[in-house]
Structure 1
Amino acid sequence: MTVIWSEEHFVKRDDVPLYVYRKRATAPAPGEAPRPVLFLVHGSTVSGRNTYDLQVPDRKDYSVMDWFAERGYDVWTMDHEGYGRSGWSGRGNSDIKTGLRDLEAVIPFVLQRTGVEKIHLFGSSSGALRASLYTQAHPETVDRLGISALVYTGAGSPTLEQRRKKLAEYSASPRRKVDLAFYEGMFNRDKPGSSEDLVPKAIAAAELPLVSEVPTGTYVDMCAHLPLATPEAISCPTLVIRGEYDGIAAEPDLLDFFARLPSMDKQFVVLSGIAHNPMMGVQRHKFFHALHAFLTMKF
């Protein structure tokens, strides 16, 4: 088995240390040309490293970072404030706009470290919102944007309809509890059987030694403050992915978002057999193929 090179950093945003993680097939060599940089943005519940570099016992190809590193990418992710290995200021609830500020602190570090001027940016679920807002604000640093499980206006979303019943609870506290039962519920919510039972157990094994709570900000935003992304302000080539069984990202809502994107270099992809989380399902290789094809297409 090939050993993928990795390194860790902490980057300060104000007084908050943000954990940053990088993987490549091999360590950078002096004088080497930069490799294409892919930066991955996590969602509302699981930290960046444990979303995109998940190691599942006796299984392969659950790590998005490894898969793309093996294909020549310089792959990065981070834990947003209050998640995983990053710090928690105790101020606010790490909402989407705070996530934008996190990216604004970390991505310049990535550009400096790698020597590239632009990155490929991908985000899923609330990470898709963070990635979209960053692309709107800093188009000069984003080559291509990939998003999955995006919530645009929230119209037609059965999961958000149920989640809004607890909006007062989420609004009253900056953090919410997570445990194995919660992770198992995430993967059985949309379509039982679309993921392996080993996956939430692997997430729990990786996450729970780090946190027992995560911020509520993205939940509040998706229940009460949509729309947050402005598709008309995203000018770069864009890929929009939806899983067939996604109970949060309704297809008509996503098609509305897609139609408003001004670039004609855009793709809308529906992946059969996949629920809300495209990276961790039984059919995850469809996601790998869709994102890789988009990033390597010559526009």
Structure 2
Amino acid sequence: MTNFDRPLARRAVIKGAGLGLIAGTLADAISTQEAHADIPGSEIWSGEYWAKKGDVPLWMYRKRVGAPKQGEPSRPVVFFVHGSSVSSRAFDLNVPGHGDYSILNAFARAGFDCWTMDHENYGKSGRTSGNSDIASGVEDLKAAVEVVARETGEKKYHFVGESSGALRAGAFAMAAPERVDRLVFAAFTYKGEGSPTLAKRAEQLDYYRSHNMRKRDRDMIRSIATRDKPGTSDPAVVEALADVELQFGDQVPTGTYLDMTSNLPVVKPEKVLSPVLLVRGEYDGIATVADIEEFFNLLPNGDRQFIILPGTAHSVTLATNRGLFWHVARAFLTMPLPMAT
């Protein structure tokens, strides 16, 4: 299908998978069972859409169990926001013989209406002379949610963002809080203090300031999975990701790199009003535990969690232990409403 028109008193800091899995198990099991109850069949349907940000076409993609039908009950919408060096293909990767790597499929089967998009200058979306920084990504999301609202009838959505995608989602939550339900920030960074990855990246700061595009070849894509802790991702999966990404060329925008090396913090915790789950891989070099804890402690909503996943590095979505991320994210998004106290 192609459519061209169209504060709660709960606080949990969970370090390690053991407590994280226990914390989410009951809510996960109950809510997922309820989500499946109204879904006829089990075949996953997908559709393509286009949003417009001024004159810039933005490609959007949707997955859910069963094609949409007029008059049917709506399903909870979750919008996945990609990072600096890859497009939305990272959320729907097919790697035959190596297990399921599509988080869109996993969440569709759990009863969600899953959406994602290619930001300006990424994937199938329009090419411009801009650098596609975080502010630009917020405008992309503003355009995209109008399409989601039209197609689903829903006005508020969950957002799952990884790396600079988490920054985009957080900045959008500050700009349009009325559109945001629950937020999952994976591989997030607040101020970036003590980050070895950002310190290395900052060596190229003059380049990012003077160029709107940077090289993103196969070796660079491989480095996403190896720079922190080799062995936390399957090499075959990284090669599959490179195969699908390089069809769009070997250049990506510099905007998010510039923001992360010179403009942090771009997400102000006191202005993020929604419930938040912060997920960090044990070996992630993009942000220290102290950096994330500082952000966590300043969030105004008592409904918040901070989880550290063992055996994972920066990319939790495509890690060998990705199932841990899928579990804690799904449990957080399906958490029952607490009784008022």
TM-score range, shorter chain: over 0.9
Rounded to whole Å, the distance in 1 between the matches of 2:153 and 2:249 is: 34
* Aligned residues: CA RMSD: 1.0
Rounded to whole Å, the distance in 2 between the matches of 1:279 and 1:51 is: 8
Partner of 1:74: 113
- 1:3 Cα deviation from its structure 2 partner: 4.3
1:139-160 CA-to-partner distances (Å, cap 9, x unmatched) read: 1111101101111101010000
* Greater RCO (CA < 8 Å, at least 6 residues apart): 2
Rounded to whole Å, the distance in 1 between the matches of 2:51 and 2:177 is: 22
Kept in 2: contact 1:83–1:211 (CA 8 A) = no
- 1:59 Cα deviation from its structure 2 partner: 2.2
- 1:87-236 matches, cutoff 5 A: 87-90=126-129, 92-236=130-274
Match of 2:103 among 64, 80, 99: 64
Equivalent residue letter for 2:243? A
Q: Does the alignment pair 1:270 with 2:308? A: yes
- 1:60 Cα deviation from its structure 2 partner: 2.3
SS at match of 1:209: helix
1:250-288 CA-to-partner distances (Å, cap 9, x unmatched) read: 110000000000010101111000100101111100000
1:1-33 CA-to-partner distances (Å, cap 9, x unmatched) read: x64210001111011110100001110122111
Equivalent residue letter for 1:61? D
Equivalent residue letter for 1:195? S
- 1:8-87 matches, cutoff 5 A: 8-48=48-88, 50-87=89-126
1:37-68 CA-to-partner distances (Å, cap 9, x unmatched) read: 000000001001x1111111212221010000
Rounded to whole Å, the distance in 1 between the matches of 2:98 and 2:154 is: 33
Kept in 2: contact 1:246–1:274 (CA 8 A) = yes
SS at match of 2:94: coil
SS at match of 2:247: coil
- 1:173 Cα deviation from its structure 2 partner: 1.1
1:178-224 CA-to-partner distances (Å, cap 9, x unmatched) read: 12111111111000000000122111111111222110000011001
Kept in 2: contact 1:180–1:200 (CA 8 A) = no
- 1:278-297 matches, cutoff 5 A: 278-297=316-335
Equivalent residue letter for 2:191? T
Rounded to whole Å, the distance in 2 between the matches of 1:134 and 1:58 is: 37
Rounded to whole Å, the distance in 1 between the matches of 2:98 and 2:235 is: 12
Rounded to whole Å, the distance in 2 between the matches of 1:20 and 1:162 is: 33
1:220-244 CA-to-partner distances (Å, cap 9, x unmatched) read: 1100111110110111111011100
SS at match of 1:281: coil
Q: Does the alignment pair 1:5 with 2:33? A: no
Kept in 2: contact 1:232–1:262 (CA 8 A) = yes
More divergent stretch after superposition (162-171 vs 69-78): 162-171
Q: Normalising by structure 2, what TM-score?
A: 0.85
Rounded to whole Å, the distance in 1 between the matches of 2:145 and 2:86 is: 20
Larger Rg: 2
SS at match of 1:285: helix
Rounded to whole Å, the distance in 2 between the matches of 1:11 and 1:95 is: 18
Rounded to whole Å, the distance in 2 between the matches of 1:56 and 1:178 is: 21
More divergent stretch after superposition (283-292 vs 110-119): 110-119
Q: Does the alignment pair 1:260 with 2:298? A: yes
Rounded to whole Å, the distance in 1 between the matches of 2:98 and 2:113 is: 23
Partner of 2:10: none
SS at match of 2:60: strand
Rounded to whole Å, the distance in 1 between the matches of 2:76 and 2:202 is: 40
